[in-house]
Amino acid sequence: MANLTLEEKIAQMLQAEEKYITPEEVTEYGIGSILSGGGSHPNHYDDDVSVWYEMVKDYQEAALEARCSIPLLYGTDAVHGHNNVYGATIFPHNINLGMMNDAALVEQIGEATALEMKATGIHWNFSPAVSVARDIRWGRTYESFSEDPSIHANLVASFIQGLQSHHAIATAKHFVADGGTFKGIDQGDAILSEQAVRDYHLPPFIEAIEAGVSIIMVSFSSINGVKMHASEYWLTTVLRDELGFNGVLLSDWNAIFQLDGTFQEQLVTSINAGVDIVMLPMDWQAAHAELIDAVNLGMLTTERVDEAVKRILTLKYNHHLFENPTHRVDTETYFASDSHIELAKKAASASMVLLENDGVLPLNGTENLYLTGPAHDHVGYLAGGWTTHWQGNQDARLGTGTSILEGIQNHLKNNPGHIVHNLEDADTVIVVFSETPYAEGHGDTEHPTLFNGLAHPDNTQAYQQAIQAKALGLNVIGVIVSGRPLVLDDTVETFDALIAAFLPGSEGGSAFSDLLYNQTEFQGKLSFAWPASLNYFDSPDNHVHYPLGYGLTYDD
């Protein structure tokens, strides 16, 4: 610290996006951190692990060449496995982990994710989201374990311990009440009493701090009209003074631009409220100049700068970045390894929820199966948002994983049973509905139903086939691939069995086939109540189709 100039200290407090900074600029400024944003890749979306590693290493070496020679923090959103990287194991999204609610498996997923990150030399994860989504109209519902903080109480600490193994760094996000906004609007306003914030949204952060989380990311959202990025009360009085968090507080992507005032005032407001690192993907250079000026003008004290930089350096030191800045684990052993694939499959299977079953399931191998619906042969839909691309991947194949059709085909290689290609030749029809992949912002909808909102347009046609099959007297099994419960109305009458798969990840297809043929048991229990109609949102006590905690087994 004593050797650093003000310019170098300010550079530690800034985070640039990889596409907007060169290694030469890293050396020139001694920048403190870089991120690869959602869907940002070294060159192409299918870049190899070694291309990622070389990129990260180049930046890291550039940082070490700077006068102050401080290693970089390199971050990314590995929110369900190392999902920006083509071919990585894609674990189920957090919503599935909540349905599974198994702390030991969640810890293993955290560790596997840390290892796959480390195969690319990336050591910092913007995960876990510990959001308590209170309104499924929010497009980030699937990033949340549950609407019920008691499920977080079981999972948050284990996930963080797993993610922070192998010297990787976790981030609890988004502080606080991101899941409590009015009507579930992304980046919206949580109109809540302080008690409600403390009852529902604060507990997962307390658990994260107790588990030793190193970084907390601030939410874009507001509480009662006050932007979190400007809230000294929540960021400092509560988080630092009351909860004792002494790690690093990170702002979200360009979030400071939503504050009042000039760019300089926005920067100063957020840092004085408590932010230590400002994520400014494109404008880090301008911010650097503005912040130096702000210190010279007395808008920002050197004490506040020193406090932030001390936290950042302590974090880099504690996570062994000074010792081994370009640390990497062996790709062959750890990236998309058989054991990670097996773990992803286990979690996918343990997280699917059996909603209805009149006895048609499990299958016994005598069936002639006909499969249809937009997600019946599509790994990209099983994976959902934050998969090689920010808003998800529309491709049926991801370079890893198994679709539902492929999962069944693999099972039938060694077991009795048939797939037929005409509905008329079938006795059992599997209709796999889907939402189209989405992430923040784009995923918000006021109409989360099987046919509206983010529902795949082909659901309508698939449902027509379900009705036709029903009329022919065939068994009809419905499967829903979605980032949240979808209002079903009376469509549910059409199905002899109904399964909510949510977003089970790349191994969802093989997990599904295991459940279908009773190689594994259904264990998933709803971590979100399933609304019976859109009226639910205006009168939350009414009209629950399936309650929180619901989920059938083959014994029921």
Which of residues 178 and 356 has its CB atom nearest to ligand BGC in the complex? 178
Q: Is 440 a catalytic residue?
A: yes
Which of 173, 484 has the CB closer to ligand BGC? 173
Q: Are 479 and 432 in contact (CB under 8 A)?
A: yes
Q: Is 232 a catalytic residue?
A: no
Active-site residue (options: 102, 207, 252, 444): 252
Alpha-carbon span 214 to 4, nearest angstrom? 23
Q: Which helix (H) or strand (E) holds 531?
A: strand 530-531
Residues that bind ligand BGC (CB under 6 A): 37-40, 77, 126, 173, 252-253, 390, 440
Cβ 263 to ligand BGC shortest distance, Å: 18
Cβ atoms within 10 Å of 195's Cβ, excluding its own? 8
Cβ at position 76, least distance to ligand BGC in Å: 8
Bond from prior residue into 128 cis (ω within 30 degrees of 0) = yes
Q: Would you say 79 or 404 has its CB closer to ligand BGC?
A: 79
Residue 315 or 480 having the CB closest to ligand BGC: 315
Least spacing, CB of residue 214 vs ligand BGC, in Å: 15
Tell me whether residue 93 or residue 346 sits nearer to ligand BGC (CB atom): 93
**Rounded (5°) CA angle 124-127-133:** 165
Give me the least distance between CB of 403 and ligand BGC, in Å please.
26
Distance from C-alpha of 507 to C-alpha of 505, rounded to nearest angstrom: 6
CA distances from 185 to 79, 93, 167, 201 (A): 21, 20, 35, 16
H/E segment holding residue 112: helix 103-118
The distance of closest approach from Cβ of residue 93 to ligand BGC in the complex, given in angstroms and rounded to an integer, is 13
Report the SS3 class of residue 231: coil
Backbone angles phi, psi at 92, to 5 degrees: -60, 150
Instruction: Give yes or no for a contact between 243 and 203, defined as CB atoms under 8 angstroms apart.
Output: no
DSSP alpha helix (H) spans, 120-262? 149-163, 194-196, 203-210, 232
CB 132 within 8 A of CB 473: no
- Which of 131, 137, 138, 167 is CA-nearest to residue 152? 131
- Which has the closest alpha carbon to 366: 313, 302, 315, 416? 416
Cα separation of 201 and 131, whole Å?
7
Report the nearest approach of ligand BGC to the CB of residue 390 (Å): 4
Q: What is the DSSP letter of 506?
A: T
Instruction: State the catalytic residue, choosing from 440, 444, 496, 507.
Output: 440
Q: What is the spatial distance between Cα 206 and Cα 156, in angstroms, rounded to a whole number? A: 10
Pick 503 or 526: Cβ nearer ligand BGC: 503
347 within 8 A of 91, measured Cβ to Cβ = yes
Q: Nearest distance from residue 281's CB to ligand BGC, in Å?
A: 7
Cβ-based nearer residue to ligand BGC, 94 or 101: 94
User: Active-site residue numbers?
Assistant: 252, 440
